C-alpha cells in the first residue's frame, strides 16, 4: 500500500507491521523510549495533578497561575488511528488506549450532537421543520445520499472533527501525563469528501468550498499528531466486516459498495503522503486483525520527540512553541475553542446553494426550537425543563455556552441559538395542530418522507 513513501521496514515482533517511517537509523544507535505503556508507567510524584479543565475550564487568567509544561512527560502524545470503513478502528483504538493508559476519544458520531443536554432528540421533530432545516445524520445520508442536505451533513462532520481534535489537544495539555488516542481527525476528512464527490453525492460548488474551508481552518492549528496508525484492510474484507456487523441502514443503504470503499482507500494513500511530513506513520496489515499488545511494543520503540528540521517537519509545531507563555496560550485556545471555531464564520457558503436556508424556513425553525424543542433560553436557563431557578444564579455550570467552562460539542446545545442569529423574522406564528407537536421518528428514504 505504501510503496509511494520512502519507508524502511522495521523488524519488530508484530509481523502485521507493513512499513513505517519511525526509524531511519543505523542498528547501533540506541532506541529512546518516548511512550511508556500503562503496565510500566509510574507518574512523577513531583509533577502536579491533572488540571480539572471540564469543571474549571482554562480561562485567560489561568495562564498566569497554572503553567503547562510542568505537567508534560513522555506520555504527552497524540496518537491517531485511521482506516477504511469496516477496518476495525474502533475496537483497535479502545484497546490501544487501554493498554497505553491513554484517554480515548472516539470518532465523531452526530448522535452526540443531535441529542441535547435535556435528552431531547431534535430529529424527532423533523416532521415540523422545512426540508432545508432537517440536518442529516449518518443514517439519513446512507439512505438518501443524493439529497441536497448531504452538503450540510458533511459540513457538520468536518466542524465536529475539528472540535474533536481540539478536545484531544485540550485533554493532553491540561492533564499532561495522559496522552490521547483518537480516530479520524479533521486532517483526513477530505478522503470522504473526495469519495462522496466522485460518487455524485456532493456538488462541485461544495467541493470547491470545502477545500478552501479546510485550508483556512487547519492553518489555525499548527500541532499535528505525533503518530498516525493506519489499519490496512482490503476492501473485500471491509465489505465482509460491514455485512457482519449488520447495521440495517448501512447494509441496506445506497452508499457503501466496493467502488466507494476503493475510492476511500485511494484517498487514504494521498492523506498518508501528506501526514508523513508532519507525523510518524505506522501501517499495519489488519486483514486478519492482530495483537494490539504487540503494536504497543512497537510504539514504545519509536522516537516521538526528535525534530530534525533539516529533513522534514515532523513535530515542528510542538518544538516551535517558543516559551511557557505560548504553551499556556495554546492551551487556552484549545480548551476554550472559541478563538479557533469562530473562523468557520469567516468562510460563508454563499456559493453553495444547497447549504442556504430561506428566511421563511429559518423563521419556522426558530419558532419550533423555542416553542417545542429547546425552550426560549440557552441550555441551563430553562426552568420549564427542570433547571433550578436558584442554580441559575449560583452554579458556575449553568452558563451560556459562549461562557461555559467546557463543552464537548458546541452544536449539541448551541444549534438552536447559533442558527437563530442568522435571521430574525419579526413574528412567525405557524398554524400547527397540537397533536403534530409530539415527537416521532423521522423516516426518509430515496428523498421521500415516509411518515409525514
Which helix (H) or strand (E) segment is 105 a member of?
A: strand 103-105
Average pLDDT over residues 265-287: 96
Residue range 310-363, pLDDT digits in tens = 888 999 999 999 899 999 999 999 999 989 999 998 999 999 999 998 888 888
Highest mean pLDDT among 62-66, 76-80, 113-117, 340-344: 76-80
Range of lowest pLDDT (155-169, 370-384, 413-427) = 413-427
Residue 404 has pLDDT above 70, yes or no: no
Residue range 191-227, pLDDT digits in tens = 999 999 999 999 999 999 999 999 999 999 999 999 9
User: Residue 406 — very low, low, confident or very high, per pLDDT cuts 50/70/90?
Assistant: confident
Domains of the chain with bracketed CATH: 17-24+73-346 (3.40.50.300), 357-449 (no CATH)
Rounded distance, CA 153 to CA 155, Å? 5
Rounded distance, CA 207 to CA 212, Å? 9
Higher pLDDT, 158 or 403: 158
Q: If you average pLDDT over every residue of the chain, what do you get?
A: 86
Q: What's the confidence (pLDDT) of residue 449?
A: 82
Rounded distance, CA 137 to CA 375, Å? 23
CA 279, 221, 275: angle at the middle one, nearest 5?
Answer: 25
Say what the pTM is: 0.89
Please provide the DSSP assignment of 239-274 as one string. HHHHHHHT-HHHHSSSS-SHHHHHHHHHHHHHHHHH
Average pLDDT over residues 367-381: 77
The radius of gyration of the chain from alpha carbons, rounded to an integer in Å, stands at 23
Beta strands 227-232 and 78-83 are parallel
Residue range 290-307, pLDDT digits in tens = 999 999 999 999 999 988
Q: What's the confidence (pLDDT) of residue 16?
A: 63
How much of the chain, in percent, has pLDDT values that exceed 70? 85
Tell me which residue of 248, 71, 273, 128 sits closest to 190, measured CA to CA.
273
Three-state SS at 83: strand
Which helix (H) or strand (E) segment is 143 a member of?
A: helix 138-143
Beta strands 280-285 and 17-20 are antiparallel
Higher pLDDT, 439 or 258: 258
Residue range 228-249, pLDDT digits in tens = 999 999 999 999 999 999 999 9
Higher pLDDT, 382 or 205: 205
Please provide the DSSP assignment of 299-329 as one string. HHTS--S---TTT--TTHHHHT--SHHHHHH
Rounded distance, CA 393 to CA 305, Å? 47
Q: What's the confidence (pLDDT) of residue 30?
A: 38
Q: What's the confidence (pLDDT) of residue 7?
A: 41
Average pLDDT over residues 247-272: 95
Rounded distance, CA 262 to CA 418, Å? 37
Q: What's the confidence (pLDDT) of residue 13?
A: 38
Neighbours of 241 (CB within 10 A): 15
The percent of the chain in helix, strand and coil, each rounded to the nearest 5, is 45, 10, 45
The DSSP bridge partners found for residue 280 are 227
User: Residue 373 — very low, low, confident or very high, per pLDDT cuts 50/70/90?
Assistant: confident
Residue 166 has pLDDT above 90, yes or no: yes
CA 61, 65, 70: angle at the middle one, nearest 5?
Answer: 125
Range of lowest pLDDT (86-90, 97-101, 102-106, 396-400) = 396-400
Q: What's the confidence (pLDDT) of residue 367?
A: 85
Residue 1 has pLDDT above 70, yes or no: no
> Under a CB-based contact definition with an 8 Å cutoff, are residues 236 and 265 in contact?
no
Higher pLDDT, 287 or 28: 287
Q: What's the confidence (pLDDT) of residue 391?
A: 62
Residue 25 has pLDDT above 60, yes or no: no
Rounded distance, CA 257 to CA 275, Å? 27
Three-state SS at 121: strand
Separation of first and last alpha carbons in the chain: 48
Q: What's the confidence (pLDDT) of residue 295?
A: 96
> Under a CB-based contact definition with an 8 Å cutoff, are residues 47 and 170 in contact?
no
Rounded distance, CA 75 to CA 95, Å? 17
Three-state SS at 157: helix
Higher pLDDT, 336 or 452: 336
> Under a CB-based contact definition with an 8 Å cutoff, are residues 23 and 8 in contact?
yes
Tell me which residue of 156, 238, 228, 223 sits closest to 418, measured CA to CA.
156
Higher pLDDT, 2 or 161: 161
User: Residue 184 — very low, low, confident or very high, per pLDDT cuts 50/70/90?
Assistant: very high
CA 160, 80, 240: angle at the middle one, nearest 5?
Answer: 90
Amino acid at each position: 500500500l505504501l510503496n509511494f513513501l520512502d519507508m524502511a521496514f522495521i523488524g519488530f515482533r508484530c509481523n502485521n507491521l507493513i512499513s513505517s517511517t519511525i526509524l531511519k537509523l543505523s542498528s547501533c544507535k540506541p532506541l529512546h523510549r518516548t511512550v511508556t505503556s500503562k503496565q510500566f508507567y509510574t507518574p512523577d510524584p513531583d509533577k502536579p495533578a491533572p488540571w480539572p479543565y471540564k469543571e474549571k475550564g482554562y480561562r485567560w487568567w489561568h495562564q498566569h497561575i497554572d503553567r503547562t509544561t510542568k505537567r508534560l512527560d513522555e506520555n504527552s502524545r497524540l496518537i491517531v488511528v485511521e482506516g477504511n470503513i469496516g477496518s476495525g478502528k474502533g475496537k483497535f483504538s479502545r484497546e490501544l488506549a487501554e493498554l497505553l493508559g491513554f484517554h480515548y476519544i472516539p470518532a465523531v458520531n452526530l448522535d452526540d450532537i443531535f441529542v441535547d443536554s435535556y435528552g431531547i432528540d431534535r430529529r424527532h421533530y423533523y416532521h415540523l421543520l422545512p426540508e432545508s432545516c432537517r440536518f442529516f445524520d449518518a443514517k439519513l445520508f446512507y439512505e438518501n445520499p443524493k439529497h441536497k442536505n448531504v452538503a450540510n451533513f458533511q459540513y457538520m462532520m468536518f466542524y465536529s472533527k475539528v472540535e474533536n481534535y481540539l478536545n484531544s489537544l485540550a485533554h493532553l495539555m491540561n492533564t499532561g501525563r495522559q496522552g490521547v488516542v483518537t480516530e479520524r481527525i479533521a486532517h483526513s476528512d477530505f478522503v470522504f469528501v473526495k469519495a462522496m464527490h466522485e460518487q455524485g453525492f456532493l456538488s462541485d460548488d461544495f467541493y470547491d468550498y470545502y477545500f478552501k474551508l479546510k485550508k483556512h481552518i487547519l492553518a489555525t492549528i499548527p500541532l499535528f499528531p505525533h503518530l498516525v496508525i493506519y489499519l490496512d484492510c482490503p476492501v473485500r474484507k471491509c465489505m465482509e466486516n460491514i455485512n457482519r456487523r449488520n447495521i440495517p441502514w448501512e447494509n441496506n443503504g445506497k452508499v457503501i459498495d466496493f467502488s466507494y470503499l476503493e475510492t476511500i482507500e485511494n484517498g487514504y494513500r494521498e492523506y498518508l503522503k501528506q501526514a508523513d511530513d508532519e507525523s510518524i506513520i505506522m501501517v499495519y496489515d489488519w486483514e486478519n486483525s492482530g495483537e494490539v499488545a504487540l503494536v504497543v511494543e512497537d510504539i514504545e520503540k519509536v522516537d516521538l520527540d526528535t525534530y530534525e528540521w533539516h529533513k522534514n517537519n515532523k513535530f515542528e509545531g510542538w518544538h516551535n512553541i517558543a516559551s511557557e507563555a505560548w504553551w499556556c496560550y495554546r492551551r487556552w485556545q484549545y480548551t476554550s475553542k472559541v478563538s479557533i471555531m469562530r473562523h468557520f464564520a469567516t468562510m460563508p457558503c454563499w456559493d453553495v446553494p444547497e447549504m442556504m436556508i430561506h428566511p421563511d424556513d429559518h423563521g419556522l425553525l426558530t419558532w419550533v426550537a423555542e416553542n417545542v424543542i429547546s425552550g426560549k433560553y440557552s441550555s441551563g436557563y430553562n426552568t420549564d425543563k427542570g433547571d433550578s431557578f436558584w442554580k441559575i444564579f449560583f452554579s458556575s455550570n449553568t452558563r451560556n455556552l459562549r461562557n461555559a467552562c467546557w463543552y464537548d460539542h458546541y452544536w449539541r446545545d448551541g444549534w438552536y441559538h447559533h442558527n437563530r442569529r442568522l435571521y430574525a423574522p419579526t413574528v412567525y406564528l405557524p398554524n400547527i395542530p397540537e397533536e403534530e407537536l409530539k415527537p416521532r421518528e423521522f423516516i426518509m428514504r430515496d428523498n421521500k418522507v415516509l411518515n409525514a
